[in-house]
Structure formats: C-alpha cells, structure tokens
Structure 1
Amino acid sequence: MSRSAWRENPWKQNPWFESVAVAQERARKRLPQPVYGALVAGSERGQTIADNQAAFAEIGVAPHVAGHHEKRSMETTVMGEHLSIPVIISPTGVQAVHPDGEVAVARAAAARGTVMGLSNFASKPVEEVVAANPATFFQMYWTGDRDVMIQRMQRAHAAGARGLIATLDWSFSMGRDWGSPEIPEKVDLRTAVRFAPKVLTKVRWMKEFAKAGVIPDLTAPNLAPPGGAAPTFFGAYYEWMTTPPPSWDDVAWMRATWAKLSGRPFMLKGVCRVDDARRAVDAGVDAISVSNHGGNNLDGTPATIRVLHPIATAVGDQLEVVMDGGVRRGSDVVKALALGARAVMIGRAYLWGLAANGQTGVENVLDVLRGGIDSALLGLGVASIDELTPEHLVIPDGFHRSFGG
C-alpha cells in the first residue's frame, strides 16, 4: 500500500504517520480536550514554549551536492548507555493518554535501541518499566525530606534503574493566558459524570481503556511509602510545592547519595546558564540536560537551542551535555548535536505518538526522527553524528544566548 493511500484513509487502512506533526493532530482528535490541553500547554503567555520550536527554524544548514557517504552512523552513549539513535525518552508525569502508559513507551524505546526516562510522577511503577526496558533512567524532583528521597533512590536502584535524573527547573508558575485544563484529583463515578460531555465523544480513547479493563490512573505509584498507598497526582504535587527548594549543597548530596548507593551516573536537568553548568561540574554530576521544562517553567526563558552552544563550550569537556525542548524533527536533532549536545530528549513528541497508536506510535515517532537524522547526515556529507560541528549550520547573528558566563 502506498503512503498516499494511507494518508487518504489512515485509520481504516494503516495507522502509520510520516511526521510528528501528524502524530500531534491524531492525538488532538483522539484525546479528550482536557487531556490534550495538558500536553500542549506552557506557562503564562507561552513565550518559551513557542520559542523552543521557532528557534530551530532560524537555523539553516549547509549541504553538499556530492561526496556523500553510503552509510551513516547515529550511535552514541549517554551516561554509559549505548544508543542506536541520539534521542532519549524524557521523563513525563502521569501518562493518561493510553492505558499502557510508560510501559508501552519503555517497550518502544527498547525496540528502537534507546533509553527510557521515567518520572517519579509516572502512572506505572518503576519495577514494571525497568522490566520493559532495562535501560531506564529514573527521574526525581526535590520532594520530601532526605530520608524519603533516599528511600525512593533505593527503590529505583533495587528495580535496576541505570541512572538518576534530578529535575530542578520548576518555579510553580500557575497562570496560563488561555486557562489551565481541568484535571481531576481522581477518577470516580462523580468525576466520570462531570467529564462525560468532554469524554463521550472520544470513543476510540474510551474503548482502549475499556478493553484494558482499567480507568485513567492519576496516582503516582513511585512516590508511595513502603507498604503504603500511592498518593494522587495532586497529593504528590503538594509535597513538591511545600518542600524547601534545594541548594547546590543539596545537589551535591543527591549526586553523592545516589553514587554511594548504586555506583551509577547522575544527570541534572534544567540548566540554562553557563554559571549553573559550572556549578553542576563542581557538584560532581555526570551529565546535564539543557532544559526549560518544555516551556513549563519560568516563561520568558530562551529556547534551549539558543543557550546550548555556550553551555556545551564551557563544560562539554567535563561532563556530558544533552538538550530537550522543542524537538520535532530529525533535522532538529542534528542541529542540537552540531551545537554540542550528545543527544536530545523528547517529551511531547512521543506522548503524541503514544496517544495516536500506543507502543507502535512511539516507535513510529522514533523512526520519523531516525529518518530525518539520516537525511540530514546524508545531505551534509558526514558519515557520523560525531562529525557534526557548528560549521554545518547557518546561524544568524545574535542567535545564541549566554548567561552567567
């Protein structure tokens, strides 16, 4: 069957999609409005979330006309894990877009030879996710006291997590100019009745959960105390909000505690400044993710692709640098790698694939990115992502943003 035939009637003939944009559109049509709204929203006016994507479009490429390589390599390593493609699954909370949630995503990542990032706000327990993909990095926020955090690290280590990601870039900005989607604290009969007008029109989404014999799970099982019940998402969020924010000494403690417990690597996620990147080196972290929380932290923060190169230039020889924020195409990945990232992390892109077609949809997204990366490497005349440099790009004057350096 041709791709044009698939496009004419994609749901009846084939669920394959050819771009992340198409996955997003299918997710929009499939999901209840509050669920889809939670995926696309950014903080305040949405300036940062918009810039995350728009900034990639400002960068051009400088292709060669001949002398291309027949074979091209996309392999790399991040925190000791081999990747067949320089794209990592970024940890995202409560994946109620599909009944299999994080387990489906983990299986897709394993099938495509990459790492799964699992949020401690996830809807599936770390033990199930690691079983689906042993190459899993467990993510933690700074929530609860140190004894509670140690217990959560111990659980992740016992489950077999290969690394720890500490996400600290969050300022609890509540206001959104277009309004925040309503998210219930739990799904019960009263909630079902109240949300029925928004849900009953999404028949395929409802059938998926009915077939699996489950309802959308809004609890956080990885935050459950030993022998206790999992808190609701909002219960976990309240703990996070009421925990005093961490200092750099706390970051060093977290890294040292995880290293002593597991001997495995530690990533600090949320770095946007050169001075913070240098402090991360001083704290002994193994990797950083240049990130603005997908536009959900402090609005007005520049796109991560704008701040990547100054940070990678300053500390890239002392720790590993990855980037997340706004990646929708393989060419976006290539641009990030050329500016100093070892790999990128994706969030919304794979969630749209999950919503569109479950595990296969996530695999589809990774395949789309792989194809785009390969096309860019071919056109640029390089045999490996390791050969990429800023000279392969056309970067406008004033594009980069550097703070604290």
Structure 2
Amino acid sequence: MASTRDWFESVAEAQRRAEKRVPKPVYLALLAGSEAGTTLADNAAAFAELGLRPRIADLPATRDLSTTVLGQNISMPVICSPTGVQAVDPAGEVGVARAAARSGTALGLSSFGSQPIEAVVAANDKTFFQVYWLGSRDAMTARLERARDAGAKGLIVTLDWIFATARDWGSPALPERIDLRTALRFAPAVLAHPGWLWRFARTGHLPDLTTPNLAARGEPGPTFFGAYGEWMGTPPPTWDDLAWLRSQWDGPFLIKGISRPDDAERAIDAGATAISVSNHGGNNLDSTPAAIRLLPGIAKAVGGQLEVFLDGGIRRGSDVVKALALGADAVMIGRPYLWGMAAGGEQGVHNVLEILRQGIDSTLYGLGHSSVHDLSPDDVVIPDGFTRGL
C-alpha cells in the first residue's frame, strides 16, 4: 500500500519520520554505535553484498512464514530484540509488546527497560526476559523468579556489551534522570518537537529513566546509570557462572552476543538452548565484523544442536531471508522497531513488522519457496571473502 500520514512503506522511511518526530538527542541515541561506528555500518552494509538466485516458473501461490522460536509459535521469523529504556514514546515496551502481538510475534524485554515485566507480559504472553550478569547471585535469582512468576517464556542473557563508552561521531550524552535542570538543558531540542512533548504530557509523566525490573517487586528501580554502575562493578561471568545461571532457569535459555564458533560450542556446554550471533548492534567492540558475515561459520559449528538467531543490520524482508538461508532460525531487530515507535508509536512498530513480513513473503515467492524452512545457502550468492571466521 502507498504511504500515508499513518503508514510508511519502508524501514528507511520510518527512520526519516523518526528524525522529524522526536527531539534530536533522542534520535541520535537511536543511532549510537561504539567508537567510529565501523561495526554499526558493516552490520547493515554487508547484506547488500549478498545476492539472491530467483526462479521464474513453478512459483508457490502461497507462502508459509510461520515458525517456532524458544518454544513459541510465531507468524514470521522476526522478533523484537530487547533494548533498554525506550523513552521515544510513552507506551514504551508495553506498546512494543502490543504491536508484536498484533503481528503474531514475540519480543525480548530488557532488564534495563522502562516498563515492568508484569505489564509487558500482560500485553504479549510471548515475552522473553533479558538479563545481564549484574549484582549478586541472590539478586539475579530474585529477578529470574519475578520473571518466571510474571509468565516470561524464556531467558536472554546478553554478553555482547563491554565498558567502552567512546563515540567518535556525536552520540548525545544521556541524563541520569529527568528533573527540572535536565528539562531546561534539553528544552530547545524538546520545544522544537512539541508533539513528542505533548504525547508524554497527556500521560502525566516525563520519560522514565528508571529500571523497574531491577528492583524488588513493588519498589522503584534504580536509574539507568545507577544500574549501569552496578553492572560495571560486578565481576564478569565465567562459563561456570553461566552454567549456574542456566541451572536457575528451567525454560528456554538464549545466550546473546556470540561472534566466534568456539564460544558457540561453549554455550552448548553451558546448557544454552539458543544463541544469538550479535555485536550489540555495533555497540560492543568496534571493528568486529558484521553479524551476517559470522553467521555461516557459527551455524556450521553448532550443527543444529541449538537454535541460532541473527541480530544486527536487518532493514528489509530480504535481509531476513538471507539470514535464514545462511543458517539462522530467526532474526532479532532493534533499531527498525525503535524507529517505527519514534515515527508512530505502537502503530509504527506494527508497521515495521508488517513491512518485514511483506518483504519476506515476496522474497520467498521470487526464490520459488513455499516456506521459510525451505531456504538454504543455494538461494544466496556469496562473494569471495564475504564470510569471516573468528
């Protein structure tokens, strides 16, 4: 369908609308990548190097995009990756959950998110809870117990995030909290986008930079940077620590941040049921190759022993198809749905998901496949030197 005021036709258009609709510091935060942004850029650019091998006859009249991830049946192999403090729209993670439910898919809720897990699961029962190795073991088990009681269907353990905060290209500094002094400092940028301010004003509160899922039930959570400081002060986990964490969770268990085949194999040994090939959207160690370049080698190394996800650089449905053809069971998206939320709230997130659905469907048709499960490396033209093995 053609673009209208309430509908857009591409993820690129969602990004353009997001830039116009939210204050500049908020928009720039959605673009952030570590250091020079080399990995950030390669995540998306690498997909353009991959070709497709279309067919012209005996094409399928209908296509089945449905699959199962972490024990949940979803309508297409795309889920919303967990992202912290979603202050681009008042509905935050609850709006993302509702949009994902409308599209028949799942989401990850960040433990650094701005909405409590109970509200998010109520909006979408296909919710996976994401954790960092943060705080004491007792605190971690208490978070897992809360997530279990709330109805979370799986656990995502994020490990692709280091202490580096360097940005060579102007990502804005985020405030510790929204108070009068902060409001005055950001006033020029905010007043240039009165619609964004009005959407929050109607809810009766300013953007929330606290993390309720890191608190005991019923208590206010620490600020984003308070939680970040506790994470920095926690000794990093060993593989034995991850095996212990796995023992505390009896459902699907995904380790996010894999970029090496040997780490993928260690994840299996630690009891993971799934991994995500990811570099934290270019926010981890800069100069790491694009996730799609690493995917084939990692998928080959695990040989179907667990589910494999690809997280990083997805901008269109054909990107999803390329990832599946090279060994992923599904993909996780971050910036695309955040741009959608910035562009149009809950409806904007749903819009992005439906753009990807249409792109997957049309690419399957062109390749002559009736199901996402029929894809293989034979559907992709891989140039010499494309893949990387770390």
User: Please, what TM-score do these two structures have when normalized by structure 1?
Assistant: 0.95
Partner of 1:201: 192
Residues 205-263 of structure 1: per-residue CA shift (max 9 Å, x gap): 1111112222100000001134532101110110111110000001111111112xxxx
Partner of 1:290: 277
**Counterpart secondary structure, 2:162:** coil
Aligned equivalents of 1:238, 1:113: Cα separation in 2: 36
Return closer, same or farther for 1:88/1:316 CA change in 2, 3 Å cut-off: farther
Aligned equivalents of 2:342, 2:166: Cα separation in 1: 26
Aligned match for 1:85, one of 70, 76, 82: 76
1:322 aligns with 2:309: yes
Return closer, same or farther for 1:298/1:382 CA change in 2, 3 Å cut-off: same
CA deviation after TM superposition for structure 1 residue 313, in Å: 1.0
Name the Cα RMSD after superposition.
1.0
- The one-letter code of the counterpart of 1:182 is A
Matches within 5 A, 1:355-366: 355-366=342-353
1:64 aligns with 2:51: no
Partner of 1:352: 339
Aligned match for 1:387, one of 374, 380, 384: 374
Residues 22-50 of structure 1: per-residue CA shift (max 9 Å, x gap): 00010111111111111101000100000
Aligned match for 2:267, one of 243, 264, 280: 280
Contact 1:138 1:163 in 2 (8 A): yes
Runs (5+) with no aligned partner, structure 2: none
**Counterpart secondary structure, 1:374:** helix
**Counterpart secondary structure, 1:212:** coil
- The one-letter code of the counterpart of 1:326 is G
Aligned equivalents of 1:39, 1:240: Cα separation in 2: 22
Partner of 2:228: 237
Matches within 5 A, 1:302-341: 302-341=289-328
Contact 1:88 1:116 in 2 (8 A): yes
Matches within 5 A, 1:144-155: 144-155=135-146
- The one-letter code of the counterpart of 2:27 is Y
CA deviation after TM superposition for structure 1 residue 175, in Å: 1.0
- The one-letter code of the counterpart of 1:197 is P
- The one-letter code of the counterpart of 2:284 is N
CA deviation after TM superposition for structure 1 residue 139, in Å: 0.1
Aligned equivalents of 1:95, 1:59: Cα separation in 2: 32
Runs (5+) with no aligned partner, structure 1: none
Matches within 5 A, 1:87-102: 87-102=78-93
Is the deviation greater in 168-177 or in 378-387? 168-177
Aligned match for 2:36, one of 45, 54, 58: 45
- Could you list the runs of 4 or more consecutive aligned residues of structure 1 that deviate by over 4 angstroms after TM superposition? none
Matches within 5 A, 1:111-150: 111-150=102-141
Aligned match for 2:239, one of 248, 257, 268: 248
**Counterpart secondary structure, 1:56:** helix
Aligned equivalents of 1:316, 1:15: Cα separation in 2: 44
Partner of 1:28: 19
- The one-letter code of the counterpart of 1:95 is Q
**Counterpart secondary structure, 2:298:** helix
Partner of 1:368: 355
Residues 111-163 of structure 1: per-residue CA shift (max 9 Å, x gap): 11111110000000000000000110000011001000000000000100000
Contact 1:316 1:340 in 2 (8 A): no
Aligned equivalents of 1:175, 1:187: Cα separation in 2: 23
Partner of 1:15: 6
**Counterpart secondary structure, 2:308:** strand
Contact 1:49 1:294 in 2 (8 A): yes
**Counterpart secondary structure, 1:284:** coil
Aligned equivalents of 2:81, 2:389: Cα separation in 1: 24
Aligned equivalents of 1:30, 1:227: Cα separation in 2: 34
Partner of 1:104: 95
CA deviation after TM superposition for structure 1 residue 65, in Å: 1.2
1:169 aligns with 2:156: no
Residues 52-72 of structure 1: per-residue CA shift (max 9 Å, x gap): 001000000010111100010
Taking only the aligned residue pairs, the percentage that are identical comes to 64
Is the deviation greater in 211-220 or in 15-24? 211-220
